[in-house]
Structure 1
Amino acid sequence: MAVLALCAALSLALGARSIPPSTVVDALFGDAHGRDAIVVRGLRLPRTVIGLAVGAALGVAGAVAQGITRNPLASPTTLGINAGAGFAVVVAIYAFGLTRPIEYVWFAFAGAAAATLFALALARRAGDIDPVRLALGGTVLQLVLLSWTSAVMLASQRTLDEARFWLAGSLSERSLHVLYPVLPTLGVGLLLAFAVTPALNTLALGDDSAQALGVPVARIRLAGAVAVALLAGSAVAVAGPIAFIGLAAPHLVRPILGGDHRFLVPGCLLAGPILLLSADVLGRVVIRPSELEVGIVSAFLGAPLLALLARKVAR
């Protein structure tokens, strides 16, 4: 919790121009009205709050995705959810001429939900959801949707110009009005994720063992997939497709809290925002006065992590 508070404080204080901590405190709790106070209250505070919500959603979604698939490399990205949201937004920009993030929200969420349903349909076998087929189907779906997204963007220069910033994944230029519409789905996703958390430990023993212990495997896996869709869809709708946060958060928490999902999932609720806000702050200061989108920073840092994880799993 202290690390998360530190990351939030840095997010409020650092940017194209650093603001002293005393000024940040006065802007939040006092009656400061200068330029720095306007920046803190009007730009950095909404950005930090959105980072906390999106990071928590991605962290928990990653933990649940790895639990229901029994695959340590599973995440909302590998299940095709991010790609589904991105494709829906690009099509909406192409067809309806959308220009603002708040206009993308429901299209992104609808695309994420459709991608999840399609991945579940691909994974069904004999009335059950096969975790291996779920991961493979999501990966195939992701590749197909990414190619379709590229095709639509190349067909229209206007669509390319509008979509490429959102597709990079960013917390900048986001107001809390973008977050408000997805708060209900975000809350339901968190409740559902914590509801299935105890059963994920039994699911890790294998489907046969879980069924022998009385766990309704198919329903738990379906509920977990719905939770991942709600959480990842909400996050992508607000901030765009941000990779590796959902993958990295569980692996950051496991060495500290162990593999028990009753502790792992709450740990990811904190680790996700820590990773996301850290990447966002790094993107702001590394090329001052410009900045790198958080999606680019997380991908740059996450690619080596993915290679190390893949090598560890192979061993």
Structure 2
Amino acid sequence: MNPGVHAGTRGTPLTPTGLSRPSVRSAGLLLGLALLAAATALSLSVGTRHIPLDQVWSALVAPSGTESDGIVRELRLPRTLIGIAVGAALGLGGAVMQTLTRNPLADPGLLGVNAGASAAVVTAIGVLGITSFTGYLWFALAGAALAATAVHALGGARSATPVRLALAGTAVNAALFGYVNGLQLGNLNTLDEMRHWSVGTLARRDPALLLTVAPLLVAGALLALALARPLGALALGEDQARALGTDLRRTRVLAVLALTLLCGGATAVCGPIGFVGLMIPHAARAFCGPDPRWLFPFCALYAPVLLLVSDVIGRIVVPPSEIEVGTVTAFLGGLLFVHLVRRRKVARL
């Protein structure tokens, strides 16, 4: 018997630490819930003005009209809820994307979601003169949906494969971002307005936007979770998936739809926020392995933790100013991702 692996009850394999894989998964979920609760408390308490947790609790359950109550209820609570929803959507979308394409370096932007949303928003600003975030929302959603549909069609539709989807996504991204850059350079007002949206931030977002897009995020999340089993079969290879009775075309179409709802909705609300959907699935696999039935819930739980912590860091590093969360996730996520790659010894030529 391998000394690093021991037999568990009823033949359940144990990890080198002596815990069975189900125990590790359960512990990982509990840890994720605890971390999410801690990140939520930090998001409500920490900022340019620190508010003790007891005052945060009073503001939530028994507001008395103080200035602290207003900060918590009107500014930080909506920002935190948006961060939780958007983080869960991006993490789940990244896990779906990597499983669908069988590419561990894939992220939701590979299907053209971010590029399509950006192209639609810059069109709304530069051509139609729309300057409100509420106005951006539906254009961003429509652009994300159209871009994802175009990538799926160019990738072969019924005969789409991971390689074809990746190549089609790269081509659509290049074309759309070229259009975005051209329109911005030709119109300085568009460049200035687009700057506020494209940086990726949780600040200054109308809570009504979350209420508007929440049904789409919930629908995308439920669809992604329902696809966990067929996507897991697809990850084994097309022949194996067919042998297990998986409808490949239906699974791919529904997975693209779930990605569009999740990442299109998240991008519409906060602008493009990178690295969350790329890094979180790698970290989650350390607890739950590659099985999508476990990976998807883990990513939906841990991604908001990264997003909220990054947002808190952005508030406190250069007071009284803020660093936008998209910048912090790129930096922090990049460091953590490099650590994971080096620790697992996969970054070798």
TM normalised by structure 2 equals 0.86
Kept in 2, the 8 Å contact 1:189–1:227? The answer is yes
2:51 matched to which residue of 1?
19
Distance across 1 between alignment mates of 2:333 and 2:40: 21
1:300 matched to which residue of 2?
331
Q: Does 1:92 align with 2:124?
A: yes
Aligned sequence identity (%): 48
Task: Please tell me the residue identity of whatever aligns with 2:150.
Answer: F
- Cα displacement string for residues 23-58 of structure 1 (whole angstroms, at most 9, x for unaligned residues): 111111112311111011000000000001000111
TM-aligned CA deviation for residue 81 of structure 1: 0.6
TM-aligned CA deviation for residue 144 of structure 1: 2.1
1:75 matched to which residue of 2?
107
Task: Please tell me the residue identity of whatever aligns with 1:219.
Answer: R
Distance across 2 between alignment mates of 1:14 and 1:179: 22
Bigger relative contact order (CA 8 A; separation at least 6): 1
Distance across 1 between alignment mates of 2:98 and 2:176: 22
Kept in 2, the 8 Å contact 1:73–1:309? The answer is no
Q: Does 1:205 align with 2:239?
A: no
Distance across 2 between alignment mates of 1:309 and 1:116: 29
Larger Rg: 2
**Secondary structure class of the residue paired with 2:255:** helix
Q: Does 1:138 align with 2:169?
A: yes
Distance across 2 between alignment mates of 1:306 and 1:229: 25
Q: Does 1:219 align with 2:250?
A: yes
Deviates most, 156-165 or 43-52:
156-165
Kept in 2, the 8 Å contact 1:123–1:134? The answer is yes
Which of residues 222, 238, 243 is equivalent to 2:274?
243
Q: Does 1:229 align with 2:263?
A: no
Q: Does 1:152 align with 2:186?
A: no
Residues 313 and 233 (structure 1), Cα distance of their counterparts in 2 relative to 1, 3 Å cut:
farther
- Cα displacement string for residues 91-138 of structure 1 (whole angstroms, at most 9, x for unaligned residues): 10111222221211000000100110011011117x321111112221
Count of matched residue positions in the alignment of Structure 1 and Structure 2: 314
Kept in 2, the 8 Å contact 1:129–1:222? The answer is no
TM normalised by structure 1 equals 0.95
Q: Does 1:281 align with 2:312?
A: yes
1:175 matched to which residue of 2?
206
Distance across 2 between alignment mates of 1:92 and 1:53: 25
Kept in 2, the 8 Å contact 1:87–1:149? The answer is yes
TM-aligned CA deviation for residue 79 of structure 1: 2.0
Task: Please tell me the residue identity of whatever aligns with 2:277.
Answer: G
Root-mean-square deviation (Å)? 1.7
TM-aligned CA deviation for residue 65 of structure 1: 0.7
Distance across 1 between alignment mates of 2:132 and 2:337: 32
Kept in 2, the 8 Å contact 1:90–1:149? The answer is yes
TM-aligned CA deviation for residue 180 of structure 1: 1.5
- Cα displacement string for residues 129-156 of structure 1 (whole angstroms, at most 9, x for unaligned residues): 1111112221222222222111111111
Distance across 2 between alignment mates of 1:161 and 1:309: 37
2:143 matched to which residue of 1?
111
Distance across 2 between alignment mates of 1:219 and 1:306: 32
Kept in 2, the 8 Å contact 1:17–1:289? The answer is no
Matching of residues 249-260 of structure 1 within 5 Å: 249-260=280-291
Distance across 2 between alignment mates of 1:194 and 1:167: 29
Distance across 2 between alignment mates of 1:313 and 1:181: 42
TM-aligned CA deviation for residue 304 of structure 1: 4.6
Q: Does 1:312 align with 2:314?
A: no
Matching of residues 266-277 of structure 1 within 5 Å: 266-277=297-308
Kept in 2, the 8 Å contact 1:190–1:227? The answer is yes
TM-aligned CA deviation for residue 188 of structure 1: 1.2
1:36 matched to which residue of 2?
68
Kept in 2, the 8 Å contact 1:186–1:234? The answer is yes
Distance across 1 between alignment mates of 2:170 and 2:83: 26
Distance across 1 between alignment mates of 2:346 and 2:94: 18
Deviates most, 96-105 or 10-19:
96-105
Distance across 2 between alignment mates of 1:36 and 1:144: 47
Residues 4 and 312 (structure 1), Cα distance of their counterparts in 2 relative to 1, 3 Å cut:
same
Task: Please tell me the residue identity of whatever aligns with 1:90.
Answer: V
Which of residues 152, 160, 166 is equivalent to 1:120?
152
Q: Which runs of 5+ in 1 are unaligned?
A: none
